[in-house]
Structure 1
Amino acid sequence: MSQTASFIALAISLASVSISQLIFKARLTALSASSEIGLSIANTALAILGDKSMWIGGVFLIVGFLSWYLAMMRLPLSLMLPMSALIAPVASIGAFMLLGEHLSLAKFAAIMVIVSGAAWLGWLNA
């Protein structure tokens, strides 16, 4: 696997894990509003396991992990771990844009600090 392919695998990993988290959040929010969830642990587990979107989110999570390990074959952890910090900002912005969650100015500033730090560490590893 070339270095370029490794960076693509890393990007796929970050995107897939972020997408999985958005799917899980959307579905768990919807399920919690229904009467299927919250009655008991067994009913909650059955509702989650029976939800097709939760399985799709699981597939995205698995793709993210597999892509992570593919990228790990060529890229140093000193680069990959700071880049993994981008999952939280990407998921937060996605939740703001797609799920209507609130994103305060302070949270946006924190996201910019995380992104700047990951970019800086990536630049140092280049």
Structure 2
Amino acid sequence: MGIEDLRQLFFGSYQIKQCQTYTEEHLDINGDFSIHVSKETNDIIRCAIQSRHSNSIRYYVWIQFSLTGDPITSWYCQCKSGARTVGACTHEATIIWYLSYARHHDFEGSSDRRRIQRSIEKLMQSNSEEDEEEDDSIMQ
């Protein structure tokens, strides 16, 4: 799908503008997005999206797709805006944007976000090593 197809699907570009940031927040260290495929039917996927307003809230998004005809046939999100009959919430748009557009156009998160993520990972690794050293010294 192209950007124009996505604009038509979402009835505008508001959600598309937010997709890159949401995607960056949900990619793992290897740049992968966690996607679950339905056991009952292989044309429905589910993804978990963290709320940007509350760290304790996670929304699940379901997307039904087709390999023939219209690529995206339906979608649903648990958030308040997700049950729309017209358009899509940002959570739904993020999954659709990433799977149908961004990953095919060599999407990379912003270098600043990657730099911050690497710094946090180094700090966590350093803290873990210090904890292990403390445990070793206590045991001696």
- TM tier, shorter chain? under 0.3
Which has the higher relative contact order, 1 or 2, with Cα contacts under 8 A spaced 6 or more apart?
1
Determine which structure has the larger helix proportion and give its number: 1
Q: Which has the larger radius of gyration?
A: 2
Determine which structure has the larger strand proportion and give its number: 2
What is the TM-score normalised by the length of structure 2? Answer: 0.24
